[in-house]
Every structure is written in C-alpha cells, then in structure tokens.
Amino acid sequence: MREHNGKTYLENAPHDMEELREIVAILHGSEGCPWDRKQTHESLKKCLTDEAEEVLQAIDNKDDENLCEELGDVLLQVLAHCELARIRGAFEFRDVVQMLSEKLIRRHPHVFGDARMPETEEEALALWRAVKQEEKRQRQAKDC
C-alpha cells in the first residue's frame, strides 16, 4: 500500500466526504493517475453528460443499487471539476457548497425566512421562480 500525505487509503474502510475530496485531489496531483491529471473542464463534459444519463436510466429502471453507484459517478464529476478549478485558483468545493447552501436558503424564504408557507407545490415553485427572477434582475443591474 502506498501512502499519500502520511495516510493509506483502503477500499473497504469507511470513507467520508472530506476523504473523497482528498482522493480526487490525489488522483489529479503530480503523483496521481495520468488520465485524471490530463483532464480539463472541456474533456470532462461528455463524462458528465454520460453519468447524468446513467442516473436517469437507473431511475427509469427503479434500480436503487445502480442509482447509488451512478449518483456517486455524478458526484465524482462535480469533485473533479472543483479540483480542476482549485488547481487554477478559481474556486474550491467548499465554495460550491457555500454558494449552493446560500441559494437554497434564499430560494426557500417560506422555510428559512418570514415568507408565508405556500399551500401547494405550484405556489412553492412560483415563489422559487420569483426569487430566481429577482436574482437575475439584481445581477443584470450590477453588470450595468
């Protein structure tokens, strides 16, 4: 077994999100996999599309075991893109987590804020869309 950063990674040991992020960073690092090191956002586009399609197939087939595996493959794509962005200094996985968390809180003012709770899923979706439209308007105003 080869150590990386003083740690040995074993297939059948328990793993968490931080360790998964470490594994992806190792794969893309100087002593990682030659294939992974060569990837770019552009070269991974087809992989992301293929993995998303495989998730849809698992859902259609009501195959939970395959769905679990394919969701992992989509997560790998997210982590790989985050690692590529981290390497070039653009952003990191934690920035994606932060941005998504903020968006979910902002777009659910009926859950996390003082807005009235929608009575139907249609009303909830309309509220989501209204908040999203306001975000777009604010971005456009900022760009001017």
Residue type, 120: T
> Is the separation of the CB atoms in 74 and 48 below 8 Å?
yes
- What confidence score (pLDDT) does residue 68 get? 98
Q: Is the pTM of this model over 0.85?
A: yes
- What confidence score (pLDDT) does residue 13 get? 94
- What confidence score (pLDDT) does residue 143 get? 86
- What confidence score (pLDDT) does residue 113 get? 95
- What confidence score (pLDDT) does residue 117 get? 96
- What confidence score (pLDDT) does residue 108 get? 95
Please identify every stretch of the chain with a pLDDT value under 70, giving residue numbers as ranges.
none
Domains and CATH numbers, the chain: 3-91 (1.10.287.1080), 107-144 (no CATH)
